[in-house]
Structure 1
Amino acid sequence: MSHSILLPRIMEVGRDACNKLPTILNSLNIKKPLIITDNMMVKLGYVDRLNIILESAAITADVFSDTVPEPTESSIKAGVHQVQHQDYDGLIALGGGSPIDSAKAIAILGKLGGSIRDYKFPRQVNESGLPIIAIPTTAGTGSEVTRFTIITDESNNEKLLCVGMGFMPVAAVIDYSLTLTVPARTTADTGIDAMTHAIEAYVSQKCNVYSDQQALSALRLIGANLQTAYHDGKNEGAREAMMLGSTLAGIAFSNSSVALVHGMSRPIGAFFHVPHGLSNAMLLPAITEFSISGSPKRYADCARALGVASTSDTDEQANANLIEYLKKLNDELKVPTLAQFGIQKHTFDALVDTMCEQAFASGSPGNNPRVPSLNEMNQLYKSLWTDSNDTPLDQTH
């Protein structure tokens, strides 16, 4: 059985890879790019840094910096309008997953028109939008190497999964030096997001021999370096490993799939505005524990790749170690419970049935090694809750 593998045409990897941006644009014959980013990238000086590099090669780029975390159709509307009324021939997506996801949607809507719901999965969007050069500034989403984007439809608080070759960046510039200023909270959330991508790609029912190798390599890098990057953000070795691990995990799930964690995570983000990586982190221990019986050997492989089990351990012992590790990791990285995040239990309970419907509709739960029933998913959501009087966690670390 063969598998279709999709990757960016160009990947520039390593410290100061951004300096190669003019060469990449020239090779793609892009003369008038638009930088899609957010206000934080402007404040940190990263947009100026890119413009200096571009101006040295006599390339002038406009900037759209109004993307927001967890992008919505309305948040990208102005960017779509700008693309439709200017003669840009390419987009440079600079930032975390949200600016890159925004750029993917802007590239398609700006060229092909319509609303984002028109491109919702199961439609395969293989039409070409404007070419995208993606420059990630966090080690987590892997969006720079995936054929997915997720945009929220505010009319019903639904995160729409959009899939297809049209969303794959034509080039990815993977420069870990851009992550050295990422705060600890974001480092934790994006790092666990990348870990989740790799685990789910490996245990997914759509896994293949190619994605398996990317996933296991990603887990080896992430398991050995996530805590160091969280506690010591200036550690370049850890930052480089996490950035590469994130990209490999992105390649893995883009060519395999995500599964139950992501399916259940998106509705939490849509209804309660929990950052995507953080909602994944909240779910990962419980969903892993639920799912192990569906693929015990593969989960044990993940435990060994993460470094929490040895080859001499039985699969059963390795999986027990994996669950213990994921729970302790959330404690160490100060992942809050739903209550600590500020969500009200009665509001959550009132929306659980709707969240289950949206999770199943995304298609991701069907890729899980153990596919839950509606009642089982309902109970998994409710298991995240704690009735204790949780005090808010310090979110600066």
Structure 2
Amino acid sequence: MLKKKVQQLAKKYLNQHISIRRHLHQYPELSFKEHQTCQFVKEKLEAWGIETQIMATTGVIGIIKGKNPSSKTLALRADMDALPIQEINAVNYKSQHDGIMHACGHDVHTTCLLGAAQILQELKEEWEGTIKLIFQPGEEQLPGGASVLIKEGVLHNPSPTAILGQHVEPLLEVGKIGVKAGLFMASADEIHVTIRGKGGHGARPHQCVDTILMAAQLIVQLQQLVSRNADPLMPTVLTFGKIFSEGGATNIIPDEVKILGTLRTFDETWRAAAHERLRKSAQLICESMGGTCNFEILKGYPFLKNNEHLTQLTRQQMEAYLGAENVIDLPARMGGEDFAFYSQQIPACFYRLGVQNPNGTGLHTPNFDIDERSLEVGVGLMAWLATQHKT
């Protein structure tokens, strides 16, 4: 039985996969600089007899052909980049690169896809079609490695009819998988605002054009703009996460203030309209107070939509592998993911792998880590889903 063989191989190779994950964790690399990681992945695949190709400078594409390889093609994707975070974990596989850490689990994603590739290659006489492996750079940084790979033709030669992606979930227990059909993750845009006025002594505000006050008004009024204009049934989040000025003191009004934020939603029409309204309103607020405003929006990732039909079939296959009680319904979330670019091109399913560990730390934190038993689940499930894919 194929499922049993996949499960046995995932268990057999677990220690090897833990070793791979720890190596990747020790040597993290930032977005679009994954040179060592790229070489490591390429060498592993080629050692297993898997055909490889380099794309987007640090991306690795692998091809595994089963029986009747032209009958169907499925893509499996893993991201490889790390974050600019200083790790504080006291483990023997702690990051060796100062100020860089796999705090979002991309070391796990890469390991799971490598492990799945190893199993799929070993069992290639027992499943049909072609599997395209996408080891992707730059998920954490605009414009997103997915968009770069798509422009370079990753969805052609051969052209996959669907794509699956797996991401760690520290809130889920090991052995659990989370999935949701339809709208799953939000679009994510960066907002960069520069407010200029006339600085001076805080005791003589009448001689100044107060940039701090303009910034305060802008933040409050733009929040109201979103709450009064967004459809209440369409999730939208506007958050300003940073406000700062150069120099300054308790009694100095600065000439310039900068504000950084993010806008997230699930509707492209409203997204475009919100961009324009926010920009115009910010400029009018500042002008009405005697200042000027440079309002820049860096358009980020689109919303991620899991194809209904593909996700339904994938869920059935997950339940067949893990048991229905271990496949959990997830809500939509306002986080962004560049896997969304693939979901805008072909049927896609992005799901979550339970990796909860006793520390209970979340993603993007300096002490994030996983329960490594989850690798057996992540590797085996991804390989199993690949063997069961139907066009």
Q: Same fold (TM over 0.5)?
A: no
* Relative contact order, higher structure (CA 8 A, sep 6+): 2
TM category, shorter? under 0.3
More strand by share: 2
TM-score by length of 1: 0.26
Whose radius of gyration is greater, 1 or 2?
2
